């Protein structure tokens, strides 16, 4: 995984820590998700997949490769 194209992250996503499943968005524009949640996003125009995390109101996007 690459964060902002600069940092390599070796980790797993522990879904059991989040009993409410993250939403999956399929759209061209980056979705705005509620604070302290996570979501998956597929951008069909670029054929790219992302994990989006919102931490205390700051949204972070991780490219899934």
Residue 15 lies in a domain: no
Name which of 49, 42, 43, 46 is nearest 63 in CA terms. Answer: 49
- For residue 32, give its domain range: 2-10+22-64
For residue 59, is it within any domain? yes
- Number of domains, the chain: 1
What is the rounded distance in angstroms from the CA atom of residue 18 to the CA atom of residue 9?
20
Please, is 41 exposed, middle or buried when counting C-beta atoms within 10 Å of its C-beta (0-12, 13-18, 19+)? buried
Q: What tens digit of pLDDT does each residue of 18-64 get?
A: 556 678 899 999 998 888 888 999 999 999 999 999 888 889 999 99
Residue 9: phi, psi to the nearest 5?
A: -120, 120
Residue 17 within any structural domain of the chain: no
* pTM > 0.85: no
């Amino acid at each position: 995984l690459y964060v902002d194209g600069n940092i390599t992250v070796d980790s797993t996503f522990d879904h059991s820590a989040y009993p409410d499943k993250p939403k999956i968005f399929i759209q061209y524009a980056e979705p705005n998700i509620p604070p302290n949640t996570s979501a998956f996003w597929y951008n069909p125009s670029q054929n790219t997949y992302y994990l989006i995390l919102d931490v205390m109101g700051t949204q972070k996007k991780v490219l899934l490769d």
